[in-house]
Chains A and B, each alone.
Chain A
C-alpha cells in the first residue's frame, strides 16, 4: 500500500492518480478568476463613475477605497473575508432577526476578496479610458441624434477599448495568479489541490511542478487571447 509511485502514476488518471483532481482544480481557478474579474469590473466601473462625479463625498470614498485596496496585501483581504465573513454575516442577520447563516461557500468569499482588490485597479483603468475620450465626440454624437446604446457601441467603446484592453489584460493575469491566494479558504483550486497532494503523498516537487505547468498554460493562453482581441479591436480605432 506504500509502494513508491512513479510520476506518471501520481499525475495520471488512474486510481491513485491526481490527474482529474488537478484538471478540475485548474477549471476552478479559471472560474474564480472570472468571477473576480466580473465583480471587479462592476465595482470598478461604479468607483470610476463615483470619482468622476461632482459630489465630493463620493469622490472621497472612491479615492480612499482605491488607496486602501491598492496598498494592502491581497492575502490580508482574503484572510479578512475568510475569517471575518461568518461573524459579519451573523451581525447583519441579527439586525433582521434572522439566525446566523454560518460560513458562506469558499468560492464566494475567495472570488469576492480578489474581486474587491481587482476593482481598485480596474477603476483606475476605466478612469483613464474615460479621460481618453474627448467630450466633444459625445456631444457630437448626441447632436447627431444617437441614442445612448448606439453612442456606446459606435463612439465610446471602439475608442475606449483600445486604451482599456491592454491594462485589463494585465489585470486579468493578476486575477489568475491571485486566485492562488484563495487556497487559504480550502477551496479546491489549483494551488490548494497541489498543496494537499504534495502533503499527503509527500512528493512536493512533482505536484508543484505540475501546478506550475498548468498555471503557465492558463496565463499564456490568456495573453494569446488578449493579443488577438487587441488586434481585432484596433481595427475599429483605425489601427495604430
Chain B
C-alpha cells in the first residue's frame, strides 16, 4: 500500500516538475576568445566579453545549460559541421560567402568599420566625417565617396590585421593608393598606431571606441566615413548548422526578446561604449 502511494507520489512530482525541453544536454558554443571586446581570454584563462555575457543571458531565457569553448576560427566551421559544437558566437559578420555554409540567426548587433588616427594627424580632417558608406548599395554616391577616400588616404600608411575583413576591403577598394602594413595581432597594430608608425587604421568601431576611452587611446580620434556591407558584412549573428531548425528558431526568438527589452543596448554600452542594437528591419541607420 505504502509502496503504491510512494510510486504515485513520485509520478505526481515528476509530472509537476517543469519538464526540461527536448535534448536537455548541454549546448557547446564555439568562440575564439581572441577578439576583444566581443570575446577574449583573461589572464587567468576565463572567457569574458560581450558574447560570454550575452550567451549567458540567452541560454537562461531558453532554460538551457551552455558551455563556451575557445578554438581557432579555421577549425570552428568544421567543428560545427561535425557536431563538436552546436553554434558559433564569435562576432561573425553576415556575408554572402559565409551564408553559403552557415545558417545565421537574426543579427544581434550591427557595428560599422571606422577609420582611426592620431588626433593631431593630417588625416583627422578626412572628408565625409561620420557619413555612412554602404558597400551593398552601388551607385554614383558610393563611387564619389570611395574616390574622396582614395584621394584622402593617398600616399599614407594604413595598418590592418592580416587577412581580416578590412585587409580585404583595403586591397579591393583602395588598392595601390596607400601603403598597407600588415600586423598579426591587433595589439601590435594598436602600438604602432599610437606611436605614429602608421597614419591610420581601419577597424570595427566596437574595438575602436573602447580603445578611445583608455588613457593611451585618448590621443586617437575617429576620422572620415563609416563603412558597412561588402566584405565587411552586415551585422553580427549566431551561426548554426544548416537544417538545425529547432535550435535556430529558439535562439532567434530569444534574440528578438533581448533586442526588445534593451539587453543588447545595455551590454553594448558596457562592452563597446556604444549602442550596437541593429536598427529595426535590418535597415542601416
Contacts and interface: CB of A to CB of B under 8 A. Distances in A.
A17 to B, nearest CB: 7
A239 to B, nearest CB: 50
Contacts of A204: 191
B187 A103 contact: no
Contacts of B216: 202
B190 interface: yes
Interface in A84-124: 86, 99-103, 106
A2 B43 contact: no
Interface string B26-39: 00000000101000
Given A4-B215, A17-B43, A202-B194, A103 B186 contact: no
Given A103-B74, A106-B72, A199 B43 contact: no
Interface in B26-85: 34, 36, 43-45, 72, 74-75, 77-79, 81-82
Given A199-B186, A199-B188, A202-B216, 18 more contacts: A2-B214, A4-B215, A17-B43, A18-B43, A20-B43, A20-B44, A21-B44, A21-B45, A99-B82, A102-B75, A102-B77, A102-B78, A103-B78, A186-B72, A195-B187, A197-B43, A199-B190, A202-B191
26 contacts: A2-B214, A4-B215, A15-B43, A15-B44, A16-B43, A21-B44, A86-B74, A100-B78, A102-B74, A102-B75, A102-B78, A103-B74, A106-B72, A195-B187, A196-B185, A197-B43, A198-B187, A199-B185, A199-B188, A200-B36, A200-B187, A202-B187, A202-B190, A202-B191, A202-B194, A202-B216
A99 B79 CA distance: 11
Size class of the A contact interface (CB-based, 8 Å): 20 to 34
A46 interface: no
Interface string A187-227: 00000000111111010100000000000000000000000
Contact of A186 (B34, B79, B187, B188): B34
Nearest to B40: A200
Contacts of B82: 99
A184 interface: yes
Interface of B: 34, 36, 43-45, 72, 74-75, 77-79, 81-82, 184-188, 190-191, 194, 213-216
A27 to B, nearest CB: 14
Contacts of B45: 21
Interface string A157-188: 00000000000000000000000000010100
B135 to A, nearest CB: 28
A90 to B, nearest CB: 9
Q: Which of B34, B78, B194, B216 has the most CB of A within 10 A?
A: B78
Nearest to B82: A99
B75 A103 contact: yes
Nearest to A101: B78
B29 to A, nearest CB: 17
A204 B185 CA distance: 14
A196 B44 contact: no
Contacts of B184: 184
A125 B185 CA distance: 38
Nearest to A82: B74
Contacts of B194: 202
Interface string A11-37: 000011110110000000000000000
Contacts of A199: 185-188, 190-191
A196 B78 CA distance: 26
A125 B140 CA distance: 68
